[in-house]
Amino acid sequence: MFISRRDYLKKIRKNNLIVGLFRFLIIFLFIVGWEILARCHVINTFTFSSPSLVIETFVNLIKQGNLLSHISVTLYEIFISFSIAIIIGIGVATLLWSNSLLAKIIDPYLTILNSLPKVALGPLIIIWVGASTNSIIFMSLLISSFITIINIYNGFSSTDKSYIVLMKSFGASKWQIFKKVVFPSNFANIISALKVNISMNLIGVIMGELLVSKVGIGYLIMYGSQVFNIDLVITGVLVLGIISYLMYLIINKLELFALRYK
């Protein structure tokens, strides 16, 4: 059955509306249910807090002028580690794709390094790099770089061989094949790697802040847990969720742009 373009676009808008509505309902019902349970004393607000207490803590942090400074520090660390991890990921993946012998040698080490519990290396990182922002960024890079390299390299290696054979038949160099076929064919794969990378960077930065920082969202969460201020802990987690969602939206916009360019 033939569907007109107008009906097709109308169907897409309807589906998007339904998805958005259910997303809103899920979070709305969760917050309302949480608040009702807290006010009816079904749950203990000392250990579980409540939406109203979290909002109150959030407002107090803004009034004190602390929240923006904590957010800005965490965002700076995420941006630096994210940028470096992407450069390392694409650079190393390109090198491995261009040299299959080197890729075979390095492959098991990448797997081993990626599977190591990076948090357990925290004390060593502090000794090597120092208890500073550098150690936080280093921790984030350890968590995100290896998985980024593996994902992007696997994408490069899975490029349709028929296109590569065709380029070789025209006498194209390895760089020309990479530039004209391999890299453009992997836009979607690179964007997927970005999505994974941003979440890994966020985890790495927070873990680093939990270990050494005196400022940042991770520090807020750690401080709140040390003084048994659950409202502060959940407020920090909420801010992290908002930051993560905004970054997800940015990556999605970048994906749409990249696909259009492709």
Give me the percent of the chain exceeding a pLDDT of 70: 95
Count CB neighbours of 109 within 10 A.
10
What pLDDT, in 10s, does the model give residues 211-220?
887 888 888 8
**How far apart are alpha carbons 255 and 215 in whole angstroms?**
32
Q: Per-residue pLDDT averaged across 217-240, rounded?
A: 89
Comparing CA positions, the residue from 86, 224, 209 lying closest to residue 148 is 86
Banded model confidence at residue 2, pLDDT cuts 50, 70, 90: low
- pLDDT at 29 (0 to 100): 94
Q: Per-residue pLDDT averaged across 29-50, rounded?
A: 89
Element containing residue 50 per DSSP (H, E): none
- pLDDT at 44 (0 to 100): 87
pLDDT higher than threshold 90 for residue 16:
no
- pLDDT at 252 (0 to 100): 79
Judge contact between 73 and 216, C-beta under 8 A.
Answer: yes
Q: Per-residue pLDDT averaged across 183-202, rounded?
A: 83
Judge contact between 98 and 178, C-beta under 8 A.
Answer: yes
Q: Per-residue pLDDT averaged across 221-226, rounded?
A: 88
Give me the percent of the chain exceeding a pLDDT of 90: 13
Comparing CA positions, the residue from 126, 171, 176, 178 lying closest to residue 152 is 178
pLDDT higher than threshold 60 for residue 163:
yes
The CATH superfamily assigned to 46-261 is: MetI-like (1.10.3720.10)
Q: Per-residue pLDDT averaged across 21-42, rounded?
A: 91
